[in-house]
Every structure is written in C-alpha cells, then in structure tokens.
Amino acid sequence: MKSSPVSTGDKLATIEEFIAGPGTYQWIDGYIRASILGVLQIDLAQRVISVRNFRSKPAYPKPGDNVLGVVDSLSDDVAFIDIFLVENRDVKSAKFTGVLHVSQVSDKYVKSLYEALGLGDIVRARVLSSRSPFQLTTKTNQYGVVMAFCNKCGSIMKRRDSETLLCTSCGSIEARKISLKYVVK
C-alpha cells in the first residue's frame, strides 16, 4: 500500500492498470480520477485504487459521547468543564467547553456543585447537546470525578468510599460525585 494526498478530479491511473475503488470514479477518457479530497491508496495485490477521506476535523463531541475534561470554573449551580478528550475517536481531540448544571450531576439530589466537584478535578461525563458549550451529565456511576486534587494541599486524592475522597498527604476528607473509573483506589 502506498499513500499520498490527492484532490478532486486528479488523474490517478488508467482503467487498464487498476480497478476504481471507493473515493474514485472512471471517466470517459480512460482514467480513474479522485472523487474526493483525501489520501490516495494503491493496493497492488488487488489492483484497486481508492481515496480515503482526510481526517482533518477535530473530534467534535456528539450527544452520547463520553468525554474527559477539567473543571475550569465552579459555582453552586453551574460548572464549566474544559473538554480535552472525546473517548473512542482515532483523531486528536481539540479543546471544547462543556457545561454541567447542578441538576445533571447525580441521580441523587445535590444542593450545590461544591458538594460534588472541585476546581481542577478531572471528570468523565456524557454529552447531551450538539453545540458548544456542550451540555454534560455525570448521572449514573460510570460518570463523575475520575481524578481529584485536595483543596488544602493540592495532592491527588484517593477514593475512600462511594462519596468521599481521602488525601493521604494531609488527611483531609472531601465529598465528590465519584465515577467508578476513579483512578486512585
């Protein structure tokens, strides 16, 4: 397999040499041409020529996607999350802004987001909307904080039970909405 970039209409090969695969078409002049902008792929064994889409767009979050982000700002009602990763995408994620409302944090009643999150915490969340800022939810035990830092000393905290974390450096105990995927058990 060889690959190189091509643009729409480019002559790729003759119809005597190759079979027109995905992303190509045969034209009346006897040439196979690119029907899309992308990367040329030549399969010499099968004698198939094709063009694969460029994956130049960042992984734009969609409803239902799972994302990881950092808690960037926090109030009683709303947290802003800097999304840095969209799970299960084979392209590099760009930065997006997510919004988590207090009513979407947990299946249980949460009065204030300060009971569930800390600034700088990393959260795993599910995307609810298709436009930025992306509405997020951390309901169900798969979602919530996956890594948290002690409010007193800044150390990474250890999971203590399903609702609290322990700082092994200073002994502080803090409440969070903790994901089952919390990294330090």
CB 36 within 8 Å of CB 65: no
Cβ within 8 Å of residue 43, ≥6 positions away? 1, 21, 49, 50
Segment 27-56, which members bind Zn ion (CB under 5 A)? none
At closest approach, how far in Å is the CB of 159 from Zn ion? 14
At closest approach, how far in Å is the CB of 131 from Zn ion? 38
Segment 125-184, which members bind Zn ion (CB under 5 A)? 150, 152-153, 155, 167, 169-170, 172
At closest approach, how far in Å is the CB of 161 from Zn ion? 17
At closest approach, how far in Å is the CB of 156 from Zn ion? 9
Strands 2-6 and 31-34 turn out to be unpaired
Of residues 141 and 172, the one with the C-beta less far from Zn ion: 172
- Site string (89-118) toward Zn ion, x via CB under 5 A: ------------------------------
Binding residues for Zn ion (CB under 5 A): 150, 152-153, 155, 167, 169-170, 172
